[in-house]
Amino acid sequence: MTKIINVNIKKNSYKIIIGSNIIDDIDSLHKKYFGHRAKIVIFDKKLSKSIYLKSLVTKLGKETKCISVPSGEKSKSLNSLNNLYNKLFSNNIDRSTVIYTLGGGVIGDLSGFAAATYMRGIDYVQVPTTLLSQIDSSVGGKTAINSAYGKNLIGAFYQPKLVLIDINTLNSLPKKQMLSGYAEMVKYGLINDVNFFSWLEKNGESILKKDKKALEYAIAICCKAKSKIVAQDEKEKGIRALLNLGHTFGHAFEKISNFKYFTHGEAVSVGIMLAFKFSNELKCCHINDVNRVSMHFKKISLPTHITDLFQKNIKSKDVIKAMKLDKKTVDNIIKLILVKGIGKAFIYDTVEERKLNIFFKNNGFI
Ligand code: GLY
């Protein structure tokens, strides 16, 4: 069964369509939303031989142009962006063309930013193929590349015209990538939906085994939760920051590791545990909630401790330095998303560096 979720943003509303075999219907969806407009597909190179790319291009029509982008976080760079612009220009792409992005978060973020800026903006459709991009990065219009100073620091809020989530694309997704997306899925329960967290405690393994019914249900819950937040706060002036639970820590770890060794979800998983532990330290959150989240992560094989990510010692001062480059930082004061319990996240904007430093030293950093 297909599920449709509306993202209601004043002038930029759009639909998220979720189901199996969505790509098979792409020709009729294109006609319905864009008539006879030309299309171009930007895809992750590792999908070159995939049935999804073949099917997408065949259905969109043989005349559909395609651009491949190398896999991996390295593609979220100024260099790759420039290559992409050049390919769009050399293919004579104008504003009447619709870009389809096929791949995970890297391809969606990079292509979305190219769409936001190419000829001052052209329409794009997200066709996410990883669990992480299906429940998070393809929805809400955050587009970005990385800077030498940190992750996603150059970008724009630019909403897609449509998000097409074909659950069948997860069939070939490796377990590590499923787990990475799963950490983001848990995040939605921890922010404001304790019932969803309880559901995941019972059904998390079905998600990781790619049970279609469980996936369709959980992906729709996450997309609805995200749409609701984005509709209220498109440009992250307030509550959208809650979606960053675990990310201020996680992005710092990714930056320090140079995006090697662990996935985004693994970094976020440890980040979420630190947010819960720090909340407990500040007497906001009961230890039982900290233990409940930790037990779930361990059961599902997500990391919970900094030593699960890094084999070398990580310096507290290096993490704090990287955290200060977070986009939420104002006047050099780090903002964190903390919790009053499971499903009760809040923005904490008076983080004391001294306390954070002591906290890190008590939690495996040097
Ligand atoms: N990934 C967090 C957000 O879109 O706001």
Q: What is the pLDDT of residues 121-138, one digit of tens each?
A: 999 999 999 999 999 999
E strands, the chain, are 3-7, 14-19, 39-44, 65-69, 98-103, 124-128, 142-147, 150-157, 162-166, 336-339, 345-348
Q: How far is CA 148 from CA 74, 191, 328, in A?
A: 11, 30, 18
Beta bridge partners of 330: 333
Q: So what's the pLDDT on residue 331?
A: 87
Q: Quick one: how far is CA 328 from the chain centroid?
A: 17
Residue type, 269: S
Q: Whose CA is nearest to atom 2 of ligand 1?
A: 243
- Concerning whether 184 is annotated as a catalytic residue, the answer is yes
At residue 336 the predicted structure's pLDDT band, cuts being 50, 70 and 90, is very high
50 Cα–ligand 1 center, Å: 28
76-92 pLDDT, tens digit each: 999 999 999 999 999 99
In the chain, pLDDT over 90 holds for what percent of residues?
A: 93
2-28 pLDDT, tens digit each: 999 999 998 899 999 999 999 999 999
DSSP for residue 330 = B
Q: So what's the pLDDT on residue 346?
A: 98
Q: Is the CB of 140 under 6 A from ligand 1?
A: yes
- Concerning whether 264 is annotated as a catalytic residue, the answer is yes
219 Cα–ligand 1 center, Å: 15
Q: Which of 87, 151, 251, 335 is catalytic?
A: 251
Q: Is the CB of 44 under 6 A from ligand 1?
A: no
Q: Ligand 1, residue 243: give the atom nearest the CA.
A: 2
Q: Around Cβ 327, how many Cβ atoms within 10 Å?
A: 17
- Concerning whether 244 is annotated as a catalytic residue, the answer is yes
Phi, psi of 241 (to 5 degrees): -60, -20
Tokens of residue 357, six digits? 């430093």
Distance CA 266, CA 278 (A): 18
Q: Cβ(193)–Cβ(343) under 8 Å?
A: yes
- Concerning whether 251 is annotated as a catalytic residue, the answer is yes
Nearest residue to 265 (alpha-carbon basis) of 207, 203, 211, 312: 207
35 Cα–ligand 1 center, Å: 31
Q: Is the CB of 66 under 6 A from ligand 1?
A: no
Q: Cβ(176)–Cβ(158) under 8 Å?
A: no
101-117 pLDDT, tens digit each: 999 999 999 999 999 99
Contact partners, residue 119, CB within 8 Å, separation at least 6: 94, 95
Q: Cβ(133)–Cβ(142) under 8 Å?
A: no
- Concerning whether 247 is annotated as a catalytic residue, the answer is yes
227 Cα–ligand 1 center, Å: 10
Q: Whose CA is nearest to atom 3 of ligand 1?
A: 243
| Strand 39-44, strand 14-19: pairing | unpaired
Domains detected in the chain? 3-170 (3.40.50.1970), 175-361 (1.20.1090.10)
Tokens of residue 41, six digits? 């597909």
Q: Ligand 1, residue 139: give the atom nearest the CA.
A: 4
140 Cα–ligand 1 center, Å: 7
Whether the per-residue pLDDT at 330 is higher than 90: the answer is: no
At residue 254 the predicted structure's pLDDT band, cuts being 50, 70 and 90, is very high
Q: How far is CA 28 from CA 59, 61, 128, in A?
A: 9, 11, 19
Beta bridge partners of 339: 345
Q: Is the CB of 243 under 6 A from ligand 1?
A: yes
In the chain, pLDDT over 70 holds for what percent of residues?
A: 100
Q: So what's the pLDDT on residue 150?
A: 86
Q: Cβ(87)–Cβ(112) under 8 Å?
A: no
Give the chain's mean pLDDT.
Answer: 96
Is the backbone of residue 332 left (phi > 0), alpha (psi -120 to 50) or beta?
left
Distance CA 324, CA 320 (A): 6
Q: Around Cβ 42, how many Cβ atoms within 10 Å?
A: 26
Q: What is the CA radius of gyration of the chain?
A: 20
Specify burial of residue 49 (Cβ count, 10 A radius: 0-12, 13-18, 19+): exposed
Distance CA 217, CA 195 (A): 13
- Concerning whether 240 is annotated as a catalytic residue, the answer is yes
Q: Which of 120, 260, 283, 354 is catalytic?
A: 120
- Concerning whether 120 is annotated as a catalytic residue, the answer is yes
- Concerning whether 142 is annotated as a catalytic residue, the answer is yes
Q: Ligand 1, residue 140: give the atom nearest the CA.
A: 4
At residue 62 the predicted structure's pLDDT band, cuts being 50, 70 and 90, is confident
What's the rounded mean pLDDT across residues 195-205? Answer: 98
Q: So what's the pLDDT on residue 328?
A: 86
Q: Is the CB of 109 under 6 A from ligand 1?
A: no
Q: Ligand 1, residue 230: give the atom nearest the CA.
A: 5
